[in-house]
């Protein structure tokens, strides 16, 4: 498996850990687009939201819960943005499902 995010979740590539549990790992984005920019990933290799199936429903809810929990701990009380890029048209560059949690400044819309 040559997936960079699988390697990060396994600790084979260093990252700044923010949160972890049995199913989920969260770490600082290497190229932050906001003062707070954290990636939340399942430990299971899922290529993107395009590939999820019925048995991923609980996991997807958990990933969203983790994002909200991290936002609380980071005291993003003024708000934040969660983004999931899926596939080529979605602008996804790393083919392992991930949520972006971004905050610490007003986020513009649309993102482009
Ligand atoms: P995407 O464009 O696929 O939605 O987002 C991929 C994100 O992963 C980008 O924001 C990029 O900065 C981040 N990223 C890519 N490679 C690495 C890495 O090796 N370490 C970390 N921490 N982030 C990465
Ligand atoms: Zn992976």
Give 34's contacts (C-beta < 8 A, 6+ positions apart). Answer: 81, 102, 103, 104, 105, 107
Segment 99-106 mean pLDDT: 98
| Residue 39 within any structural domain of the chain | yes
- In the residue annotation, 98 being an active-site residue is answered as yes
- The alpha carbon torsion through 51, 53, 55, 60 (nearest 10 deg) reads 60
| pLDDT score, position 68 | 98
| Banded model confidence at residue 8, pLDDT cuts 50, 70, 90 | very high
Residue 110 has pLDDT above 80, yes or no: yes
Whether 46 maps to a domain, the answer reads yes
Distance (Å, whole) CA 7 – CA 101:
20
How confident is the model at residue 111, as a pLDDT? 83
| pTM summary value | 0.98
3-class SS string, 68-82: HHHHHHCCCCCCEEE
Domain harbouring 22, CATH code? 3.30.428.10
Question: Is 55 within a domain?
Answer: yes
Q: Determine, yes or no, domain membership for 61.
A: yes
Indicate if ligand 1 lies below 6 Å from the C-beta of 5: no
For the stretch 67-97, pLDDT in tens is 999 999 999 999 999 999 999 999 999 999 9
Is the C-beta atom of 31 inside 6 A of ligand 1? yes
Amino acid 1: pLDDT: 72
Provide the mean pLDDT of the chain. 97
pLDDT band, very low/low/confident/very high, at 55 (cuts 50, 70, 90):
very high
Instruction: Indicate whether 110 belongs to any domain.
Output: no
Whether residue 58 lies inside any domain: the answer is yes
- Residue 109 within any structural domain of the chain: no
Residue 111 located in a structural domain: no
Task: Say whether 104 sits in a helix, a strand or coil.
Answer: coil
Domain interval for residue 42:
4-103
Query: Whose CA is closest to 23, among 79, 66, 52, 85?
Result: 66
What is the number of structural domains in the chain? 1
Ligand 2 midpoint to CA 8 (Å): 9
């Amino acid at each position: 498996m040559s997936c960079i995010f699988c390697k990060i979740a396994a600790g084979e590539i260093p990252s700044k850990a923010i949160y972890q549990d049995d199913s989920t790992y969260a770490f600082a984005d290497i190229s932050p687009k906001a003062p707070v920019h954290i990636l939340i990933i399942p430990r299971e290799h899922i290529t993107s939201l395009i590939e999820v199936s019925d048995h991923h429903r609980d996991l997807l809810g958990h990933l969203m819960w983790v994002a909200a929990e991290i936002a609380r701990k980071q005291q993003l009380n003024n708000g934040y943005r969660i983004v999931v890029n899926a596939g080529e048209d979605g602008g996804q560059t790393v083919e392992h499902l991930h949520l972006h949690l971004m905050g610490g400044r007003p986020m513009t819309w649309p993102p482009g």
